Amino acid sequence: MATLTIHSVICHETSDGFGSDDLFINFRGERVFGVQQIDEGQTINPGTVSNFSVKGLVDFWERDSGSDNDYLGGFWVHRNQVGQGELNAQLSGDDSNYAVNYEITA
Ligand SMILES: [Ca+2]
Ligand SMILES: [Ca+2]
């Protein structure tokens, strides 16, 4: 088994529209974190969110009521990333700018 830990999610720019983002995170299609409000300049620290056997897709969404949720972006994680230390991903969906720091451990 491998473990996905999301150390930090830094919001440099929220998605389109007014105000903060209502962020939630899915792993393999199931919600593992949120909804958590986040605004520009803020950082959240989800921590260990899931275990997995081989690989999985991590997706970041912005929840909207009254319209479809906005897709912020995502990335694949794989068990062969165990031991690679802290990894980084950039999200830019819906004109957002997020920096994600994560790690895969055994
Ligand atoms: Ca929203
Ligand atoms: Ca929105």
Tens of pLDDT, residue by residue over 24-37, are 999 999 999 999 99
Amino acid at residue number 2: A
Backbone dihedral angles phi then psi of residue 5, each to the nearest 5 degrees: -120, 125
Give the number of whichever ligand sits closest to the CA of residue 23: 1
In the reported structure, the alpha carbon of residue 2 is separated from the centroid of ligand 2 by a whole-number distance in angstroms of 32
- State the Cα–Cα distance between residues 91 and 64, nearest whole angstrom: 18
- State the Cα–Cα distance between residues 67 and 1, nearest whole angstrom: 37
The predicted pLDDT at position 18 comes to 83
Q: Is 54 helix (H, G, I), strand (E, B) or coil?
A: coil
The predicted pLDDT at position 17 comes to 81
Which CA distances in Å does 91 have to 43, 64, 97? Answer: 14, 18, 6
Set out the domains of the chain in order of their start, with CATH numbers. Answer: 2-105 (2.60.40.1110)
Write down the pTM of the prediction.
0.95
Positions in the chain short of pLDDT 70: none
Give the number of whichever ligand sits closest to the CA of residue 22: 1
* Ion ligand 1, residue ranges at CB < 5 A: 22, 64
- pLDDT tens per residue across span 71-86: 999 999 999 999 999 9
Q: Residue 1 has what DSSP assignment?
A: -
In the reported structure, the alpha carbon of residue 2 is separated from the centroid of ligand 1 by a whole-number distance in angstroms of 32
